[in-house]
């Protein structure tokens, strides 16, 4: 909620921006006319220039600062927020979710699903690739939490050694650009096994 001071400051900022865009529109339209464009094209340039300028700051901010797209909210999260984000995704799959305590979790941050298909998830919000320690922790901790399957989720990528160790232990790795497939992988790993026919 804005206070009265916030509203007047916001209105003042909007008025200044409008005047600046109007001045830019008039100046660009006049410049187009002086460069030889007819009146219709000059008016079009005068209208388009402020619109392009109004859209430019957010585009340029992403270009020059190297910001990731809005599709990657994990970049702005803390480690705990990232765990909460992964838990929300698991809950959106319609599965029971248990978030373990910060201490004594045996390397398992989130438990998803029901027995016998419970999934142990280790979440790593890091600025560098995730190594073998995360895989070792979740693989070792899964039996302690009565989980049959394991997964490590990160906002970054995994080292080749971590990928090799995960493949050896059947641990699913989801990182970086693969985060969008997390719901499908959670559903796949927690799905009950199909009954086998006895002939």
What CATH number has the domain bearing residue 124? 3.40.1350.10
What is the average pLDDT across 146-165? 95
Q: Is the pLDDT of residue 13 over 50?
A: yes
Statement to judge: residues 90 and 153 lie in one domain: yes
Burial 60-83 (b: 16+ CB within 10 A, else e): eeeeeeeeeeeeeebeeeeeeebb
**The domain containing residue 11 runs over which residues?**
4-63
Please give the Cα distance from 151 to 174 (Å, whole number). Answer: 8
Statement to judge: residues 33 and 125 lie in one domain: no
pTM of the model: 0.61
Helix (H) or strand (E) holding 134: helix 132-141
> Taking all residues of the chain, what is their mean pLDDT, rounded to a whole number?
82
Statement to judge: residues 114 and 164 lie in one domain: yes
Measured in whole angstroms, how far is the alpha carbon of residue 170 from the centre of its chain? 25
The pLDDT assigned to 2 comes to 42
Statement to judge: residues 88 and 52 lie in one domain: no
- List beta partners, residue 121: 110, 151
For residue 100 the two structure tokens come to: 């373990």
Statement to judge: residues 22 and 51 lie in one domain: yes
Does 74 reside within a domain?
no
Does 166 reside within a domain?
yes
Does 71 reside within a domain?
no
Please give the Cα distance from 188 to 52 (Å, whole number). Answer: 45
What are 41-94's pLDDT values in tens digits? 888 887 887 777 777 666 655 555 554 444 556 677 888 888 999 999 999 999
Does 69 reside within a domain?
no
Statement to judge: residues 121 and 183 lie in one domain: yes
Statement to judge: residues 37 and 93 lie in one domain: no
Please give the Cα distance from 101 to 108 (Å, whole number). Answer: 9
What is the average pLDDT across 134-163? 94
Does 73 reside within a domain?
no
Statement to judge: residues 96 and 52 lie in one domain: no
Does 138 reside within a domain?
yes
Statement to judge: residues 183 and 87 lie in one domain: yes
Statement to judge: residues 101 and 179 lie in one domain: yes
Residues 153 and 180 sit within 8 Å (Cβ to Cβ) = no
Statement to judge: residues 83 and 59 lie in one domain: no
Q: Is the pLDDT of residue 7 over 50?
A: no
- Total of domains in the chain: 2
Statement to judge: residues 161 and 104 lie in one domain: yes
Does 72 reside within a domain?
no
Q: Which residue has the tokens 């809950």?
A: 91
* Helix (DSSP H) and strand (DSSP E) numbers for the chain: 6, 5
Q: What separation in angstroms does the CA of 81 have from each of 68, 84, 101? A: 18, 5, 14
Does 68 reside within a domain?
no
């Amino acid at each position: 909620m804005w206070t009265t001071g916030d509203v007047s400051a916001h209105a003042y900022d909007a008025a200044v921006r409008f005047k600046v865009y109007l001045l830019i529109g008039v100046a660009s339209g006049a410049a187009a006319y002086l460069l030889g464009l007819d009146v219709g094209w000059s008016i079009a340039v005068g209208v388009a220039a402020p619109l392009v300028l109004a859209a430019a700051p957010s585009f340029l901010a992403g270009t020059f600062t190297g910001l990731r797209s809005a599709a990657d909210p994990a970049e702005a999260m803390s480690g705990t927020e990232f765990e909460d984000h992964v838990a929300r995704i698991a809950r959106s799959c319609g599965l029971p979710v248990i978030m373990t305590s910060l201490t004594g979790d045996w390397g398992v941050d989130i438990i998803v699903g029901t027995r016998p298909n419970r999934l142990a998830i280790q979440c790593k919000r890091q600025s560098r690739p995730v190594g073998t320690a995360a895989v070792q922790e979740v693989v070792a901790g899964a039996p302690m939490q009565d989980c049959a399957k394991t997964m490590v989720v990160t906002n970054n990528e995994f080292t080749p050694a971590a990928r090799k160790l995960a493949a050896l232990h059947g641990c699913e790795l989801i990182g970086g650009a693969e985060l969008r497939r997390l719901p499908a992988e959670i559903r796949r790993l927690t799905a009950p096994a199909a009954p086998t026919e006895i002939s």
